[in-house]
């Protein structure tokens, strides 16, 4: 069974805490602080791997967590970086990530970080200075990104076979390629997409057999609606229509085939994704079951009924009729394979942060009417508070000085704050006495 959808939980590794430590050696008075920094947490990374067929691995393992960064320690020893968690996915995987990010993994070797690890905290030696020579506080490591992401596999095929059930798609794929799809004289023999390849003089073309469509497939009827997304990446579609052997005349046969064509075309348009805009070749299958003398009349009647649709290809997978001509038409429609899936050069992850001047002060003070407290909203301010232990007097003193330098205390006073009022920053709330 093809597993083309998955919803998994990803968690980066939390950053390690900075250390509070002092140098203690014989004959070295007042050695000073030597607490090392915490290590950065590991990332959860999706890796495009051509050896993967589908997303079945996510069926049994739905939680992926990276390693936590190591804590700092004395003698200026930094914590180690957390181990990354690599999750391998097949080419053609689309990712709906955290914060609404979207990624498309097409080429083997592509990597994308879906959950970043938290940064490590600074050790106490980072806070030493002329006026604070023995700081007894350090920073906590930050929490990592975590949450649920959705994966959707869309097969990477150049050409897709579509049509009503039992139109001969599987038989055609079996004859054109070395694929071995199930073939039977009853509808819905194909329960999942099947891929095959044909070799031309200059390239390889990937064909996809999509389970048969019926009326209402886009709304969930039948099986085809489950797999319509797999033809979105195709460059061309081959619409197989079964020749009605019981038709009394060429005009009657064309009318029946045009009705079948309209049913499939309506479902492609209802699905969306631009399927109705893809180039489409029409192949009238099972032509060995009708009198060969009627073939020219059928082609003429088809062109008269659809003057803009071009001439159909009359084929028979069982009798090998018209297969070479159809293969040449597919190769011409697909083109030279110039990669419209090309990706740019790999992006290298950096371990440093770049700070640029913001258009505003980066935070906002809001008075909460229900409680009368003041809430300071701003990611940078919230991160600053999360990094420090509010039960440590030295850490609180340092934090208050930083809030004063940034301008938070002035903004509180401008908003009507009085000493002793409650202040909320992120998940922390405290009475502030500046």
- Mean pLDDT of each 10-residue bin along the chain, 434 residues long: 86 97 85 94 95 85 95 95 95 91 91 95 94 93 96 89 86 85 60 80 83 59 64 89 76 84 85 84 88 82 70 88 91 69 41 48 86 91 93 92 92 90 90 83
Rg (CA), the chain: 32
CATH code matching the domain that covers 159-334, chosen among 2.60.40.150, 3.40.640.10, 3.40.50.300, 3.30.450.90: 3.40.50.300
Q: How far are the Cα atoms of 44, 171, 194, 203, 426 from residue 50, in angstroms, in the given order?
A: 19, 27, 16, 18, 43
Q: Could you tell me the two tokens for 198?
A: 């044909």
Which helix (H) or strand (E) segment holds residue 241: the answer is: strand 236-242
CATH code matching the domain that covers 1-154, chosen among 2.60.120.560, 2.70.210.12, 3.30.200.20, 3.40.50.300: 2.70.210.12
Q: Sort strands 204-209 and 146-153 into parallel, antiparallel or unpaired.
A: unpaired
Nearest one of 89, 64, 88 to 12, comparing CA atoms: 64
How confident is the model at residue 394, as a pLDDT?
94
Topology alike, domains 159-334 and 364-431 = no
- Residues whose CB falls within 8 Å of the CB of residue 393, separated by 6 or more in sequence, listed in order: none
Q: Could you tell me the two tokens for 135?
A: 């700081």
Task: Give domain limits for the chain.
Answer: 1-154, 159-334, 364-431
DSSP structure string for 43-86: -EEEEE-TT--SSTHHHH--EEEPPPPPPPBTTTBPPPPPPPEE
Q: Please tell me the distance from the alpha carbon of residue 287 to that of residue 284, in angstroms, as a whole number.
A: 7
How confident is the model at residue 64, as a pLDDT?
96
Query: Are the C-beta atoms of 377 and 412 separated by less than 8 Å?
Result: no
What pTM did the predictor assign? Answer: 0.76
Q: Could you tell me the two tokens for 369?
A: 């009417």
How confident is the model at residue 310, as a pLDDT?
66
Enumerate long-range contacts of 181-188, CB under 8 Å, 24 or more apart: 181/209, 187/212, 188/212, 188/222, 188/223
As a dihedral over the C-alpha atoms of residue 91, residue 96, residue 98, residue 101, rounded to 10 degrees, the angle is 90
Fold for the domain defined by 364-431: GMP Synthetase; Chain A, domain 3 (3.30.300)
Q: Please tell me the distance from the alpha carbon of residue 55 to that of residue 53, in angstroms, as a whole number.
A: 7
> In which residue are the tokens 């704050």 written?
417
């Amino acid at each position: 069974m093809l597993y083309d959808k998955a919803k998994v939980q990803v968690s980066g590794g939390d950053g390690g805490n900075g250390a509070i430590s002092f140098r203690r050696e014989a004959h070295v008075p007042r050695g000073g602080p030597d607490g090392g920094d915490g290590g950065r947490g590991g990332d959860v990374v999706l890796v495009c791997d051509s050896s993967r067929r589908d997303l079945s691995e996510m069926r049994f393992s739905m939680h992926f967590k990276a390693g936590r960064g190591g804590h700092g320690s004395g003698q200026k020893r930094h914590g180690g970086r957390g181990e990354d968690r690599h999750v391998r996915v097949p080419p053609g995987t689309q990712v709906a990530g955290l914060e609404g990010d979207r990624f498309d993994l097409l080429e083997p070797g592509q990597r994308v970080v879906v959950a970043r690890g938290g940064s490590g905290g600074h050790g106490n030696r980072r806070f030493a200075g002329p006026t604070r020579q023995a700081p007894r506080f350090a920073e906590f490591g930050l929490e990592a990104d975590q949450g649920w992401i959705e994966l959707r596999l869309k097969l990477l095929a150049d050409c897709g076979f579509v049509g009503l059930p039992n139109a001969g798609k599987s038989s055609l794929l079996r004859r054109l390629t070395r694929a071995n799809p199930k073939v039977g004289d009853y509808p819905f023999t194909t329960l999942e997409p099947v891929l095959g390849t044909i070799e031309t003089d200059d390239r390889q073309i990937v064909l996809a057999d999509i389970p048969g469509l019926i009326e209402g497939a886009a709304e969930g009827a039948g099986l085809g609606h489950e797999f319509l997304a797999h033809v979105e990446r195709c460059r061309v579609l081959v619409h197989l229509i079964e020749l009605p052997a019981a038709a009394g005349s060429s005009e009657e046969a064309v009318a029946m085939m045009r009705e079948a064509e309209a049913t499939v075309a309506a479902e492609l348009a209802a699905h969306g994704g631009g399927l109705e805009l893809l180039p489409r070749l029409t192949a009238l299958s099972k032509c060995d079951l009708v009198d060969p003398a009627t073939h020219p009349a059928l082609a003429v009647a088809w062109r008269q009924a659809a003057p803009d649709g071009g001439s159909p290809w009359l084929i028979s997978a069982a009798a090998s009729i018209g297969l070479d001509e159809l293969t040449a038409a597919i190769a011409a429609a697909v083109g030279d394979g110039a990669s419209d899936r090309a990706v740019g050069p790999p992006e290298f992850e950096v371990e440093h942060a770049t700070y640029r001047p913001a258009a505003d002060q980066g935070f906002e003070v809001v008075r909460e009417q229900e409680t009368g407290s003041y809430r300071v909203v701003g990611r940078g301010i919230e991160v600053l508070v999360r990094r420090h232990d509010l039960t440590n007097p030295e850490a609180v003193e340092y934090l208050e000085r930083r809030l004063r330098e940034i301008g938070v205390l002035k903004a509180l006073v401008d908003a009507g704050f009085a000493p002793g009022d409650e202040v909320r920053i992120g998940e922390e709330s405290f009475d502030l006495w500046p």
